[in-house]
Amino acid sequence: MRTVIFDLDGTLADTSGDLLAAANACFRGLGHGDVLTAETDAGTAVRGARAMLNAGFTRLGLSYDDSDVDTQFPILLEAYGQDICTHTTLYPGAREAIARLRDAGYKVGICTNKPEGLAEQLMAALDFRDAFDSLVGADTLPVRKPDPAPFIEAVRRAGGDPARAVLVGDTQTDRDTSANAGAPSILVTFGPGSFDVAALKPEALMDHFDDLDDIVGRLMA
């Protein structure tokens, strides 16, 4: 069965606003106020909690180490879980594109480095979870992307064949995951930040979800 697996943050949805708010909750708790902004840090947000914490500590000019990040990590996740979908929006055309793939007989799933519970919570809040046949998060398996195992597991749980699957993502991590799995990748050009995704040399680039059907069809031919 042909399968399309999607990254979540920066690919299906712009989650940067709620992620940054959770990170800023940590810095407020440390007495520093809001440190990160959407204008400067949206790209960092979709790289994960630790990336945001490192960016904030660096911007403050504080002396810190991994233990400081480790201490704040669960605090950030708790803040995020309490307010996970205030600013988050699906990218234009995402919902319709997934429906078209399903109507065309594809299996679809999610492979994200967001913790599985938070990913499930967010997709439910977006009223979008039922559109996907599988969801594998950062802690579903002992390894996470760019290890190929989570992608392969997402395909398997969707009822697909890893030899006939493609990964849609937005970062180096997604590109490396697809390469490690021996699968083609589609990288979106509209994610937060200023990543030069073309330089990663994916099998295809996607400017809008309206283009997804044709791109997948070509890669799966």
Structure tokens belonging to residue 11: 């690919």
Confidence band, pLDDT 50/70/90 cuts, at residue 194:
low
Beta-strand pair 13-14/3-6: unpaired
What ranges do the domains of the chain cover?
Answer: 3-14+88-220, 16-82
Confidence band, pLDDT 50/70/90 cuts, at residue 193:
low
pLDDT digit string (tens) for 33-56? Answer: 999 999 999 989 988 899 999 999
pTM metric for this prediction: 0.95
| Terminal-residue alpha carbon distance, the chain | 13
pLDDT digit string (tens) for 155-190? Answer: 999 999 999 999 999 999 999 999 999 999 999 999
Return mean pLDDT, the chain. 96
99-126: average pLDDT: 98
CA dist., res. 99 & res. 93, Å (int): 10
Phi, psi torsion values for 119, nearest 5 degrees: -65, -45
7 catalytic, yes or no?
yes
CATH number, domain 3-14+88-220: 3.40.50.1000
